[in-house]
Structure 1
């Protein structure tokens, strides 16, 4: 059995390792445009902040290591075309410009995603960079030392983490977003208010509710970012507007969402026989809303890639879907969320949405130290099912979001969560868990 894998970041790496483990006699061939695999872009901000000093540490696998498993790793090779009917592909060696044909028994598409780059006037000026792969990371860290005024466009997780990192490095940092709040997709206002306060206290310039119109520059380098309301000095601009699936290769050949995300079944099978897909190029089942959405996350990617290895020959293990669970640390605040926020739930579903917020010290007041924690539950008033949750505290209680992820996946109700058994020990918590307290309040 010959398996060709196109693209090899998180989903691709997980897929090839699991395929070779389950089918050691199979021939596994990777074609990857970059010269590396498994780069963790979520660590770029940590690299900028000098928490992770060596960019190379952000890899968890390598082409050389995959080769020791018997996997053929063709780096800097771009697949130009796929003939699904004849199970063949056309490949270009980017180093030699040679093109050749290869064939497969099974095809794995782990094409990933790419940053959204609007066609801004002045967008081709120097020092306007993306934040996605290893090359971007090296560019950002090399340009950071000479930059005085840094502007980040897009206040999702990556943009927010970069804003903190540049501020830590002493840069005049501006964070711009068209939304009225930072991280609006992941957190409700009660939580973004806390995060925004942290940034304002550190001197980060939050420019919210403004749309970037153009860039201006001197000597071909960016010097100014112009929005619909204001303008800001900039000698380094990072675009973090969002991601879109990199699926031009299969456009019109496989079933996709309008944005190009490949539609797969619960066994990672595409609309074409013997063709599987995983990771940021795909849709995922979003359990809280019981629908399919485009949610590019590394955690989704490694799970889906692993499932390809399990289901390559016959359907064996189903994808359980995702809650889109995520966490972030902003200065002293540890924040995590799972499922739908109240705002997202009200805007994207027809459910009867309600929510409750509980604030309490995470452990008894007789302990030498204790910190306040705030937890929010989002639920359906009719079915009583828990649909989402968010937590913030200066102590790391983010694992509560993982617990709530299981609660949502298993369709538990507020009543069930209120009476769920959690341990008590004064070092760690109170007799009633914060999850119990919030659910009881909802009752």
Structure 2
């Protein structure tokens, strides 16, 4: 069998490795239009901030490794067309300009995503940069050396991590976002209020609930001013981090997609065309909190989906378990974890939810040191099924987001979590773990609501 893989970052690399590991007799051809594979873009801020000195560590594979496993790897080759009827692709060698065709039995689309570039006047000025891949990271580092006033547009994970990296480097940083809160997709207001206050105390300018209307440049074509719906800011460099869109132009109208162009796949990573598989940022995920499809571009989703492509390329074998969109962040000493829906997003996913918010020490007060943990549990009304959770502390509680993720995936209720067995050791937690305490608060909230309803009957 002959498999053609288009794109080789997280999902593509995982797919190729798994296909060849499990089925060494399969012929695999890889086409990647960049000059590198498997770059961990989540490490860009660490690289930009100088925490990561050697960027080689941000790659977990390379073309030679895939070739040694048996793949035919074509770097700097761009697939320009997919003929799904004839089962062949048209490829351009970006170094020579040569164009050729290659046939396939199975096609793997792991083309990933690309930063959204808003249609703003002046967006093409020299020092307005994107932040997604290795080459863009190097360009950011090179340009930032002699720049002092840096503006980040977009308050998601990548944007906020760059804010930290540049602020720690002594730059004057402005963060612009069209929403009224940072990290809006991941955290509710109780958490973002704390983080925003901390950012402002550090001298970072927050321009929230403001849209960028335009850029002004000098005679050299370099942006010097950003104008928003409410203000204007002098800048030396701008980095756009407003989100991502799936790279699926090659398969438009050829497989089923969401309205935003994300490919829909079944539980074995097959598209609506059974000979075409897809994974990673080019795809919608199966979102467990509501049992539907959602576009959630995360490296964790990509490596899992890519691996499942490899497991299922010969025949359906391993079912996709879906995702909770679990993620973590370290920001100016705060350790943050979140999973599933928030109060803010639950209605978007068609869920009726309630939540509880608890703040408590992570371990007994008799211990010589301690830290507060802010935590929220979101659960479905009626079923009491856990559908989301958020935690934040100066103590590292982020692995508890993974525990909550497992609870969502396994459809656990607030009672299940309230009384589940966790160990007790004073160095680490209380006789009741803080997740027990959080869920017990939800159980008590439901008890009071039920008692109140009965009392009014």
Q: TM-score, normalised by structure 1?
A: 0.99
- 1:52 corresponds in structure 2 to 52
Alpha-carbon displacement from aligned partner over 1:160-195 (angstroms, at most 9, x marks no partner): 000010001111100000000000111000111111
Show structure 1 runs of 5+ residues with no match.
Answer: none
2:213 corresponds to: 213
| TM-superposed deviation, 1:2 | 1.1
Moved over 2 A (4+): 54-57
Paired residue for 2:61? 61
- Cα distance between partner residues in 2 of 1:311 and 1:59: 25
How many residue pairs were aligned?
442
Q: Distance in 1 between matches of 2:208 and 2:96?
A: 47
1:362 partnered with 2:356: no
Aligned to 1:284: 285
Q: Indicate if the aligned counterparts of 1:198 and 1:330 stay in contact, CA closer than 8 A.
A: no
Secondary structure of 1:308's counterpart equals helix
SS at match of 1:342: coil
In 1, the alpha carbon distance for the partners of 2:104 and 2:381 equals 51
Q: Is the 8 A contact 1:125 1:217 kept in 2?
A: yes
Residues 127 and 222, structure 1, Cα contact 8 Å, conserved in 2: yes
Kept after mapping to 2: 8 A contact 1:358/1:434: no
1:127 to partner: Cα distance: 0.6
Asked if 2 retains the 8 angstrom alpha-carbon contact of 1:152 and 1:176, the reply is yes
Q: Counterpart of 1:244?
A: 245
Instruction: Structure 2 unaligned segments of length 5 or more: list them.
Output: 444-457
SS in 2 for 1:289: coil
C-alpha separation between the residues in 2 aligned to 1:322 and 1:191? 23
Corresponding residue for 1:37? 37
Deviation by residue 1:123-169 (Cα, 9 ceiling, x = unmatched):
11111000000110000011111111000000000000000100011
- Matching of residue 171 in structure 1 with residue 176 in structure 2: no
CA contact (8 A) 2:181 2:189 kept: yes
1:348 Cα deviation from its structure 2 partner: 3.4
For 1:114, what is the secondary structure of its paired residue? strand
Rounded Cα–Cα distance in structure 2 between residues aligned with 1:146 and 1:172:
12
Distance 1:300 1:134, change over 3 A: same
CA deviations on 1:394-431 (whole Å, 9 max, x unpaired) are: 01010110000000001111111111110000111000
- In the alignment, does 2:125 pair up with 1:125? yes
Residue of structure 1 in register with 2:300 after alignment: 299
Deviation at 1:329, TM superposition (A): 0.7
**What is the DSSP-based 3-state SS (H/G/I as helix, E as strand, rest coil) of the residue aligned with 1:139?**
helix
Would you say the 8 A contact 2:216–2:223 is kept in 1? Answer: yes
Query: Does the alignment pair 1:28 with 2:28?
Result: yes
RMSD: 0.8
TM-score by length of 2: 0.96
Contact 2:114 2:246 in 1 (8 A): yes
Shift of 1:309: 0.9
Instruction: Within 5 Å, give how 1:328-407 maps onto structure 2.
Output: 328-349=329-350, 351-407=351-407
